[in-house]
């Protein structure tokens, strides 16, 4: 509510069809307080001393690099070099670590604050363009696909995880986890059907041999 009243000046999307126009007139509009709010949030963190390194780690995560190895590759550094910045960002509440359900000791990371995730994925790479009056609509049109894949998609996945962990009926969770029979691929045949098929194949071979020229 505070964002809508104070930073978006009471403006909120009127529906799905108004969302793109709302982003242009509020989030990407240099004349609204919301435009620079993410930068202020980062600047107010007292633990972020080496700002460039911490911002680069957040940018790596916003670009889809959710593991330590992925972040290190994005930054062209060793994984040990970014261990401390990751820990500091976690302590500051800017990064959240999630355990991998299938691979132990390989957690994934996500940006905890949606506004900062949006800033790093959409605004920071083209900040100079956004500061020019009248550029918001063009920038948003070029960034729309990136928003869906790097911001909206991961956020929706997290909503689904939270629902499954904290709100889903345990009986539904057990049904979802129950293995199901594959829907495609060859179906196993009974021994009786396999013997019958082999017999029919032998019969067809004998028939073809008897019909061949020169066969006695």
What tokens does 12 get? 């909120």
Helix (H) or strand (E) holding 41: helix 37-43
Q: Confirm whether 46 is domain-assigned.
A: yes
Question: In a structure prediction context, what are the per-residue pLDDT tens digits for the chain, which is 216 residues long?
Answer: 555 566 666 788 889 999 999 999 999 999 888 899 899 888 888 777 778 889 999 999 999 998 999 999 999 999 999 999 999 999 989 999 987 766 777 888 999 988 999 999 999 999 999 999 899 999 999 999 999 988 888 888 888 878 887 887 777 656 655 555 444 444 555 555 555 555 555 555 565 555 555 555
Query: How far, in whole angstroms, is CA 3 from its chain's centroid?
Result: 24
How many domains does the structure of the chain reveal?
Answer: 1
Q: Confirm whether 141 is domain-assigned.
A: yes
Residue pair 215/209 in contact by the 8 Å Cβ criterion = yes
Q: Confirm whether 174 is domain-assigned.
A: no
Distance (Å, whole) CA 43 – CA 160: 31
Name the residue range of residue 73's domain.
Answer: 37-166
Q: Confirm whether 84 is domain-assigned.
A: yes
């Amino acid at each position: 509510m505070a964002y809508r009243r104070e930073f978006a000046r009471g403006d909120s999307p009127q529906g799905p069809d108004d969302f793109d126009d709302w982003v242009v007139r509020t989030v990407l509009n240099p004349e609204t307080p919301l435009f620079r709010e993410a930068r202020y949030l980062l600047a107010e963190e007292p633990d972020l001393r080496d700002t460039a390194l911490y911002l680069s780690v957040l940018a790596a995560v916003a670009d889809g690099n959710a593991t330590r190895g992925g972040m290190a590759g994005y930054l062209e550094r060793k994984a040990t070099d970014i261990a401390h910045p990751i820990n500091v960002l976690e302590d500051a509440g800017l990064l959240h670590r999630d355990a991998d359900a299938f691979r132990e000791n390989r957690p994934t990371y996500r940006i905890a604050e949606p506004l900062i995730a949006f800033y790093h994925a959409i605004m920071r790479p083209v900040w100079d363009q956004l500061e020019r009056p009248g550029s918001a609509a063009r920038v948003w049109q070029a960034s729309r696909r990136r928003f869906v894949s790097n911001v909206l998609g991961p956020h929706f996945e997290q909503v689904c995880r939270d629902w499954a962990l904290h709100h889903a009926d345990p009986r539904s969770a057990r049904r979802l986890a129950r293995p199901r029979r594959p829907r495609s691929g060859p179906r196993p045949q009974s021994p009786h059907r396999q013997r019958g098929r082999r017999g029919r194949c032998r019969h067809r071979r004998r028939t073809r041999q008897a019909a061949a020229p020169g066969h006695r």
